[in-house]
């Protein structure tokens, strides 16, 4: 049997219990992502899901929440400078880091302290 890895379906990040509205505000109002309906059998767990290209970001709520300050998704975008400017205008702190050849990038923290990287290939 041969196995072919096809890509990433979704990433999940954690947030404190009861923070769904804050997540919605950040991911839809600030980043412009579309919220998608969670499957009915998972709706009782809390959290919310967002479409990001063909993939999804799942924000799951966690009782003993601690933000991921090192581990992070790398979110590929086009027009990275425009995203950066939009985030700055909306009061989001943008953090630069060491360059990687062939990639422009920066980091932000979501409202819960999770690290997110946005990047664009040269």
Q: To the nearest whole number, what is the mean pLDDT of the chain?
A: 96
pLDDT tens-digit readout, 27-55 = 999 999 999 999 999 999 999 999 999 99
Considering its fold, how many domains does the chain have in total?
1
Three-class HEC string of 33-56: CEEECCCHHHHHHCCEEEEECCEE
pLDDT tens-digit readout, 96-114 = 999 999 999 999 999 999 9
Residue 2 inside a domain? The answer is no
Whether the predicted pLDDT of 1 surpasses 90? no
Residue 19: its pLDDT value, please?
Answer: 98
The CATH number given to whatever domain includes residue 109 is 3.10.180.10
Domain span at residue 50 reads 10-121
Residue 5 inside a domain? The answer is no
In this prediction the pTM is 0.94
Residue 89 inside a domain? The answer is yes
Residue 38 inside a domain? The answer is yes
């Amino acid at each position: 049997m041969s196995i072919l890895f096809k890509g990433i379906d979704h990433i999940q990040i954690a947030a404190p219990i009861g923070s769904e509205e804050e997540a919605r505000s950040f991911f839809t109002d600030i980043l412009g992502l579309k919220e998608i309906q969670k499957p009915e059998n998972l709706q009782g767990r809390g959290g919310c899901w967002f479409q990001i290209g063909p993939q999804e970001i799942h924000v799951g709520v966690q009782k003993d929440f601690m933000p991921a300050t090192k581990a992070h998704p790398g979110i590929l975008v086009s027009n990275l400078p425009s995203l950066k400017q939009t985030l700055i205008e909306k009061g989001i702190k943008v953090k630069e880091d060491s360059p990687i050849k062939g990639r422009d990038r920066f980091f932000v923290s979501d409202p819960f302290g999770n690290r997110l990287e946005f990047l664009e290939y040269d």
